[in-house]
Structure 1
Amino acid sequence: MFMPVVPLARRAGTRTAVLAALTLAGTTLSGVSAVAAPVPGDNGDVKIHASTTASDNQRNDPKVCDFYLAAFNFDSGEKVNWTIQTQPEVPGGATRTGSFTADPTGQGRTAAVDLPNGQYKLTWLTDQAHGAGKFKVFKVDCPTSKPTTPVGGPPAGGGGIARGEAFTPVTGAAAVGLAAVAGTVWFRLRRRPDGAA
């Protein structure tokens, strides 16, 4: 049986071509990793924190009442500009804007932010970042039933209304209607001296 013999020079050329291809592939792969490295200004994150959440806690509170913004993993001294708008956007809706500068550890925080109940979108952008910025959607949901003081006299049988919610517009309209009917009946009875209807 006859086996072809490849000349040594030809095998060396093939080996060189394979090594060249692998080197080129390695260069390309190392170039990809350099592109994927974080760009200054694009690596930070802003969290919505309930007023009771510690500023170094990296969780996000998507439903809050009293809250502030906390920042993590920014470059030291980096300025972060933020905007909060109603979501979806409503003409004349509540909007808040501000900025803060990250401390040497890359963290930062705002003072308390006050917004009425509703759905909002937080957008932030640093001076070094590119594009439209990063965002989070969250909800402000504060309880609306607050304790009220008694209106009128003492509660529970002493006359007056015990709570402000007890006298609603419907109750008021019913009271006016009842007074009107009673007044009409009284006026008709007074017109007839014998009291007959």
Structure 2
Amino acid sequence: MSPSPRSTAPVRRGTMLACTLGASAAVLAIGLAPAAQAAPGDNGDVKVHDSRTAVDRQQDDPKVCKFYLDAFNFDAGQKVTYTVDQQPPTGTAQVLAGQLTLPEGTGHTPDLSLPDGHYKVTWTFEGEQGSAKHKVFKVECATTSPTPPGGPIGGVGTGGGGSVHGPDTAEIAAGSAVLAVAAGLGIRAVRRRSARNATS
């Protein structure tokens, strides 16, 4: 006696339900995968900025003089710990360290300065995934303008360190006064002689 068609219905319904649940779980797993990879704070970044760069600029300045560290896109209230180390050929020593608290996920250090050389900034934070992030940069401050040939220009009174190209204003004035007195004395002497010759 063959089984009634109705007897297979519960099996089919159970199979379909299992397949539907399995497909839903797979879709949910795929949809949640990016969220699991982007753990809180992992989307944050720290930039090295020249002291004249605006804080809202989200690009690095690879060569700086005075500089600051600028943090973006972290979670509100997150704390970032940073260190700055020399890089060869400059050296290998750690030269700076500190922490940034980011009430709204952004923030920056005050202006910092280091001797000319190669450096790497490394930052870490709670809940980070994988190894600490880092950036390399170079400190290179402009050299002072060269002294004109022959030394500083201007008298001592002007802060130039003394003139090497001629007398300064005070020397010229003093020389003029001496010449004026000498000329006056010479004119008197000529007049006296003329008066004596007239009476003799």
Displacement, 1:33? 3.5
- Within a 5 Å distance, the mapping from 1:123-138 to structure 2 comes to 123-138=122-137
Give % identity: 43
Match of 2:60 in 1: 60
Displacement, 1:131? 4.2
Do 1:41 and 1:75's aligned partners in 2 also have CA atoms closer than 8 Å? yes
Match of 1:26 in 2: 27
C-alpha deviations, 1:27-55, integer Å up to 9, x for none? 4323424423x212322111111111122
Unaligned runs of at least 5 residues, structure 2: 153-159, 168-200
Q: TM-score, normalised by structure 1?
A: 0.61
Match of 2:141 in 1: 142
Give, in whole Å, the separation in 1 of the partners of 2:87 and 2:108: 23
Give, in whole Å, the separation in 2 of the partners of 1:30 and 1:49: 37
Give, in whole Å, the separation in 2 of the partners of 1:130 and 1:89: 31
Do 2:90 and 2:117's aligned partners in 1 also have CA atoms closer than 8 Å? no
Q: How many residues align?
A: 150
Displacement, 1:146? 3.8
Do 2:73 and 2:106's aligned partners in 1 also have CA atoms closer than 8 Å? yes
Unaligned runs of at least 5 residues, structure 1: 1-6, 160-197
Identify if the C-alpha distance between structure 1 residues 99 and 147 changes in structure 2 by more than 3 Å, giving closer, same or farther.
farther
Give, in whole Å, the separation in 2 of the partners of 1:27 and 1:110: 41
C-alpha deviations, 1:123-148, integer Å up to 9, x for none? 01113335431111111111123455
Q: Which has the higher helix share?
A: 2
Match of 1:154 in 2: 163
Q: Which has the larger radius of gyration?
A: 2
Give, in whole Å, the separation in 2 of the partners of 1:89 and 1:68: 23
